[in-house]
């Protein structure tokens, strides 16, 4: 006979009023088990339970049981604060209850509330007083349990939130696991911690990491680099570098190259100035470090890499040129941008040289864009920038043109900045551009000078350059003032300088020119780059403005201040603006700006943007396309592609434009094996570009998409974070400026600042590139270059049988008879309509009864089945080879090889998926770029003579002066392209004999 279930707690509750303490204690214990079932009934006696908790007549155990009972009742009533307060009073009873079955939800809720209250108390404690010892006890118990269960990351998360760095240290001392320190570093960098605490944690973590070794087994090298770049502390960096000299000089060189990639110009310059001179033994090492930290060595190496591996498909460019009307400014600009992106950094201007007749059709601002494109093509060729751009630059500032030539000269000055991007601050080029800005009379030339100065001196904080730009701004010229606004923000990038911000905001409120307001609005956003909560006041100010352009600037200020942090508050703000602002421009910008917050978690972005991509407002949809493109750039993320593909058929032209550009960004450096959408996207571009009835904006977007998908000779990806995982400042800034192409096409050139060369460039201790090989443990097709476009085949036109009149046949027959009678030979006539059947007979005999079509397919299958070799599971690559970010996980260096890297090639563990079944699932987007780039190699056989790679990038002979002959010297054929209609014509080609009969 079963025990009947209890239907009421009345009997046990009656015992609470019993005068015998033992019975009360028993009742309290029993009720603790009955609460989940009878909490409503027990809640009517809550006052009595509380009085028992406060009673001094009961033993401690009964006190704790009463407190636990009251806590559970309040939990079921939904009053979690009271539940926590009584749980704190329950002492050991609560801790024992955590292991009881059926109490999991209650315990979890109370513990989470305890953690929240503890975090709040810890934050207040720093300003006010002490924390409740009972709360402290519960939290200490949570830490102990996490550590005992091996849940170290949970404990570290709570410790960081509650500012308990001692817990982080004790966990590391127990485990000696550097991945936990890396986890703590990423947690504090990629979430919404205040700047001051972030820096405190990083300074605390840095000495905990063990000293790195140069045997390529130290996995935390990237974490150390990221901490140094984020802290931006020259003193700390110098101490670290000097600790590696001289015993680990190769590792010191490696850190220097990694710092160049992530650190700003001013940071690197401060390190260079304060590095010690060194002794006789160490002086050459410090000199090499200074040389590397200047940044120019990295740029030279990547320039050589892009030039050697250039795989631009010229037929794509030719086809686009043939179908876009060159006299239309938008189409001319589209082709200029496409060519610039495809050849970015390769120094190959062959397309321009072969299409001079197209080039001279540019006029006004399309001529400006065409000249600026030369800067994108030669980006990084800073040593020869004056020689390359010399023919297009004004000889003296006062000589600058004010007519048609001003556009060419202004574009060339902008190109000068692009060539020197990232290494122009404090250099001669900065003084040259400042001189042009101050002394030119043309606003177009000033526009180009200002943009060039901003890009070249980005983050340099040059007060002189800022003052020159300010004077240009105060002339109140709409064209020059807009560029000055952008450039002021670029020069003061990330300084949060209150004086500059106040000056720019005041002028933006006073001026009547929308172009100037827009330039200043984006300039303000750039000033607060990466400043997080320090920018909150400015964001609040800008968001409250009546002028939608300033609110537009406020959106970008918020996005750049919290770039890469995925801050929940900032994401909520942007989503709110995206659905509530009265201006379409502001709403579009708010959606696009989500990309700058979330680019470190690309897989999350499609889910967040999904609903916005289906909005009734086309501007919101357009913003969603660019958000997907920027955040998921280079990942080939199929979820993002699936959202964008239907948007390429949108009814609104600029939404289609955005979708086509975004697809190019996402699919850059993808292969057909890794991304099933690649071939269809390329075909879509070709179809839209060639359709003369399609919208001009959609065709413009398709042309840009073609340029982005094959950017940098198919050897670059688009990445907003560095290989170490820190923010890639120039890439983020470049993408913000690229987004302004909506208003001003020349700013689209700034997308090249986000192009990241993807290769392995190995250097020895002399910073020379030796010849060596390494292995990619994946099928070659998975990371292969796309196949070249094939020219269309000439179709042979089949002859149609000629209609012959009956009278004509009779006449011919009569003439034939007469000729026979006269004894003349009559030539056989082959009728036009006759068809020889030899081919058909041969095919029928070959195929038998099978139809020729099906037979040919079966034969093809048989022949390919027999003749095709199975694809190898790995391939050998040489130094200066392209290695895509997804491919890095499969790269290994032969153990018996002469050269071995001093740091790990990739932070990701190798997977066997790629070698077994090439699928995009094996190439899931990662949080950090990690790996590749410039690697310092240790020579295991230093006694042998090294075999070095000869560089192809040679010096350019300067062009002839103004008084010299108009033709360029023979040593530099085709280096300079005339953009001016009035330029002298080229000499005719030398006489030659055409090979008649041999042409095909």
> Mean pLDDT over residues 288-298, rounded?
87
Structural domain span for residue 118: 1-149
Q: What is the CATH number of the domain that holds 449?
A: 1.25.10.10
Same domain, 554 and 663: yes
Using alpha carbons only, give the angle 555, 556, 557 rounded to the nearest 5 degrees: 90
Answer yes or no: is 302 within a domain.
Answer: no
Among 112-121, 519-528, 649-658, the minimum mean pLDDT is found in 112-121
The last residue of one of the domains, among 149, 170, 200, is 149
Looking at residue 143, its pLDDT comes to 84
Answer yes or no: is 4 within a domain.
Answer: yes
Question: 795: pLDDT confidence band, cut at 50, 70 and 90?
Answer: low
Give the pLDDT confidence of 359-370 residue by residue, as tens digits: 888 888 889 999
Query: Pseudo-torsion of CA 774, 777, 780, 783, nearest 10°?
Result: -90
> Mean pLDDT over residues 66-80, rounded?
85
Among 279-283, 424-428, 847-851, the minimum mean pLDDT is found in 847-851
Question: 154: pLDDT confidence band, cut at 50, 70 and 90?
Answer: confident
User: What is the three-class DSSP state of 763?
Assistant: strand
Counting every residue written for the chain, the total comes to 1000
Answer yes or no: is 211 within a domain.
Answer: no
SS3 assignment for 647-681 = HCCCCCHHHHHHHHHHHHHHCCCCCCCCCCCHHHH
The answer, yes or no, to whether residue 860 has pLDDT greater than 70, is no
Spatial distance between the Cα atoms of 65 and 29, rounded to a whole number of angstroms? 6
Cβ neighbours, 10 Å, residue 741: 20
The answer, yes or no, to whether residue 127 has pLDDT greater than 80, is no
What DSSP assignment string belongs to 815-830?
A: HHHHHHHTT---PPPP
Q: Are residues 290 and 252 in contact, defined by beta-carbon separation less than 8 angstroms?
A: no
Same domain, 624 and 672: yes
Quick one: angle between helices 678-690 and 696-709, nearest 10?
140
Spatial distance between the Cα atoms of 241 and 246, rounded to a whole number of angstroms? 10
Spatial distance between the Cα atoms of 617 and 524, rounded to a whole number of angstroms? 28
The last residue of one of the domains, among 149, 179, 214, is 149
Same domain, 643 and 515: yes
Mean pLDDT across the chain: 81
Same domain, 698 and 769: no
Same domain, 488 and 556: yes
Looking at residue 801, its pLDDT comes to 64
> Mean pLDDT over residues 231-254, rounded?
87
Q: What is the CATH number of the domain that holds 106?
A: 1.25.40
Same domain, 495 and 566: yes
The last residue of one of the domains, among 129, 149, 169, is 149
Same domain, 559 and 690: yes
Q: Are residues 775 and 876 in contact, defined by beta-carbon separation less than 8 angstroms?
A: yes
The answer, yes or no, to whether residue 824 has pLDDT greater than 80, is no
Same domain, 316 and 377: yes
Looking at residue 911, its pLDDT comes to 46
Looking at residue 802, its pLDDT comes to 66
Answer yes or no: is 458 within a domain.
Answer: yes
Same domain, 627 and 599: yes
Give me 945's structure tokens: 């003579």
The answer, yes or no, to whether residue 964 has pLDDT greater than 50, is no
Looking at residue 666, its pLDDT comes to 94
Same domain, 439 and 571: yes
Answer yes or no: is 616 within a domain.
Answer: yes
What are the backbone angles phi and psi of residue 883, rounded to the nearest 5°?
Answer: -135, 115
The answer, yes or no, to whether residue 404 has pLDDT greater than 70, is no
Same domain, 697 and 782: no
Q: Which of 241, 235, 208, 209 is nearest to 222 (CA)?
A: 209
> Mean pLDDT over residues 228-246, rounded?
87
- For CA atoms 326, 364, 397, 984, give the dihedral sign: positive
Answer yes or no: is 914 within a domain.
Answer: no
Same domain, 629 and 528: yes
Spatial distance between the Cα atoms of 344 and 375, rounded to a whole number of angstroms? 9
Answer yes or no: is 959 within a domain.
Answer: no
Residue indicated by tokens 């041999």:
998
Answer yes or no: is 520 within a domain.
Answer: yes
Please give the tally of structural domains in the chain.
Answer: 3
Give the pLDDT confidence of 645-704 residue by residue, as tens digits: 999 999 999 999 999 999 999 999 888 888 888 889 999 999 999 988 889 999 999 999
Question: 524: pLDDT confidence band, cut at 50, 70 and 90?
Answer: very high
Looking at residue 336, its pLDDT comes to 93
Give the pLDDT confidence of 191-228 residue by residue, as tens digits: 778 888 888 889 999 888 888 876 656 778 888 888 88
């Amino acid at each position: 006979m079963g025990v009947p279930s209890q239907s009421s707690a009345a009997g046990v509750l009656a015992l609470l009023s019993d005068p015998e303490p033992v019975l009360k204690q028993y009742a309290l214990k029993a009720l603790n088990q009955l609460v989940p079932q009878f909490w409503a009934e027990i809640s009517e006696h809550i006052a009595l339970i509380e009085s028992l908790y406060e009673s001094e007549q009961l033993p401690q155990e009964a006190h704790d049981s009463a407190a636990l009972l009251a806590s559970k009742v309040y939990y079921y009533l939904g009053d979690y604060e009271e539940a926590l307060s009584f749980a704190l009073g329950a002492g050991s009873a609560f801790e024992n209850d955590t292991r009881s079955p059926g109490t999991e939800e209650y315990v979890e809720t109370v513990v989470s509330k305890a953690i929240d209250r503890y975090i709040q108390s810890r934050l207040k404690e720093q300003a006010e007083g002490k924390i409740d010892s009972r709360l402290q006890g519960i939290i200490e118990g949570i830490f102990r349990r996490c550590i005992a269960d091996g849940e170290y990351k949970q404990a570290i998360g709570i410790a960081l939130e509650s500012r308990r760095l001692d817990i982080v240290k004790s966990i590391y001392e127990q485990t000696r696991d550097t991945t936990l320190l890396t986890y703590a570093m990423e947690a504090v960098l990629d979430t919404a911690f205040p700047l001051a605490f972030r820096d405190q944690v990083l300074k605390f973590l840095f000495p905990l990491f063990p000293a790195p070794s140069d045997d390529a087994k130290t996995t935390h090298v990237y974490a150390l680099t990221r901490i140094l770049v984020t802290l931006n502390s020259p003193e700390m960096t110098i101490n670290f570098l000097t600790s590696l000299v001289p015993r680990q000089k190769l590792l010191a060189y490696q850190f220097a190259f990694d710092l160049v990639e992530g650190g700003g110009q001013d940071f690197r310059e401060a390190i260079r100035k304060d590095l010690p001179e060194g002794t006789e033994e160490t002086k050459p090492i410090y000199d090499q470090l200074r040389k590397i930290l200047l940044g120019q060595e990295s740029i030279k190496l990547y320039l050589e890499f892009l030039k050697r591996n250039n795989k631009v498909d010229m037929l794509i460019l030719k086809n686009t040129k043939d179908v876009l009307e060159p006299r239309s400014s938008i189409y001319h600009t589209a082709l200029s941008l496409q060519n610039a992106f495809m050849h970015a950094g390769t120094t190959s201007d062959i397309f321009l040289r072969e299409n001079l007749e197209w080039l001279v059709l540019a006029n006004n601002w399309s001529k400006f864009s065409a000249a600026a494109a030369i800067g994108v093509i030669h980006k990084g060729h800073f040593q020869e920038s004056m020689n390359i751009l010399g023919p297009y630059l004004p000889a003296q500032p006062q000589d600058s043109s004010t007519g048609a030539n001003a556009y060419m000269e202004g574009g060339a000055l902008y190109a000068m900045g692009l060539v020197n991007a990232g290494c122009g601050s404090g250099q001669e080029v900065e003084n040259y551009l400042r001189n042009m800005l101050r002394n030119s009379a043309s606003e177009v030339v000033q526009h180009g000078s200002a943009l060039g100065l901003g890009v070249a001196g980005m983050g340099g904080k040059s007060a002189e350059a800022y003052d020159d730009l300010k004077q240009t701004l105060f002339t109140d010229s709409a064209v020059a003032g807009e560029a000055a606004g952008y450039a002021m923000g670029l020069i003061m990038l990330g300084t949060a300088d209150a004086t500059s911000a106040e000056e720019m905001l005041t002028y933006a409120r006073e001026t009547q020119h929308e172009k100037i307001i827009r330039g200043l609005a984006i300039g303000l956003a750039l000033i607060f780059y990466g400043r997080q909560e320090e920018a909150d006041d400015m964001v609040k100010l800008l968001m409250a403005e009546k002028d939608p352009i300033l609110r537009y600037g406020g959106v970008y200020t918020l996005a750049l201040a919290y770039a890469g942090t995925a801050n929940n508050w900032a994401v909520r703000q942007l989503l709110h603006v995206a659905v509530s602002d009265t201006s379409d421009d502001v709403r579009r910008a708010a959606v696009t700006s989500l990309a700058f917050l979330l680019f470190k978690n690309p897989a999350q972005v499609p889910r967040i943007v999904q609903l916005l991509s289906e909005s009734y407002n086309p501007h919101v949809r357009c913003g969603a396309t660019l958000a997907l493109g920027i955040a998921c750039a280079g990942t080939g993320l199929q979820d993002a592609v699936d959202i964008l593909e239907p948007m390429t058929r949108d009814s609104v032209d600029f939404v289609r434009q955005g979708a086509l550009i975004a697809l190019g960004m996402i699919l850059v450096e993808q292969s057909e094996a890794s991304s099933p959408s690649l071939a269809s996207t390329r075909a879509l571009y070709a179809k839209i570009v060639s359709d003369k009835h399609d919208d001009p904006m959609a065709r413009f977007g398709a042309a840009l998409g073609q340029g982005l998908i094959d950017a940098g000779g198919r050897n670059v990806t688009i990445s907003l974070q560095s290989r170490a995982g820190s923010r890639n400042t120039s890439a983020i800034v470049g993408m913000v400026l690229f987004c302004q192409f909506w208003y001003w096409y020349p700013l689209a050139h700034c997308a090249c600042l986000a192009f990241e060369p993807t290769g392995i460039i190995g250097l020895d201790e002399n910073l020379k590139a030796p010849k060596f090989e390494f292995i990619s443990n994946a099928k070659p097709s998975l990371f292969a270059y796309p196949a070249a476009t094939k020219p269309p085949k000439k179709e042979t036109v089949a002859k149609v049988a000629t209609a012959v009149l009956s009278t004509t046949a009779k006449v011919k027959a009569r003439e034939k008879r007469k000729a026979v009678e006269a004894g003349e030979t009559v030539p056989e006539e082959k009728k036009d309509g006759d068809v020889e059947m030899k081919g058909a007979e041969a095919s029928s005999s070959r195929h038998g009864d099978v139809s020729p079509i099906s037979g040919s397919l079966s034969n093809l299958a048989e022949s390919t089945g027999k003749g095709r070799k199975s694809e190898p599971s790995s391939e050998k690559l040489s130094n200066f080879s392209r290695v895509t970010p997804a491919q890095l996980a499969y790269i290994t260096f032969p153990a018996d090889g002469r050269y071995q890297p001093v740091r790990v090639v990739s932070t990701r563990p190798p997977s066997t998926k790629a070698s077994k079944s090439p699928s995009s699932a094996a190439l899931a987007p990662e949080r950090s770029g990690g790996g590749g780039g410039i690697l310092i190699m240790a020579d295991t056989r230093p006694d042998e003579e090294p075999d070095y790679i000869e560089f192809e990038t040679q010096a350019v002979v300067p062009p002839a002066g103004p008084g010299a002959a108009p033709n360029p010297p023979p040593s530099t054929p085709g280096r300079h392209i005339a953009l001016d209609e009035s330029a002298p014509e080229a000499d005719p080609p030398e006489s030659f004999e055409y090979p008649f009969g041999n042409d095909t």
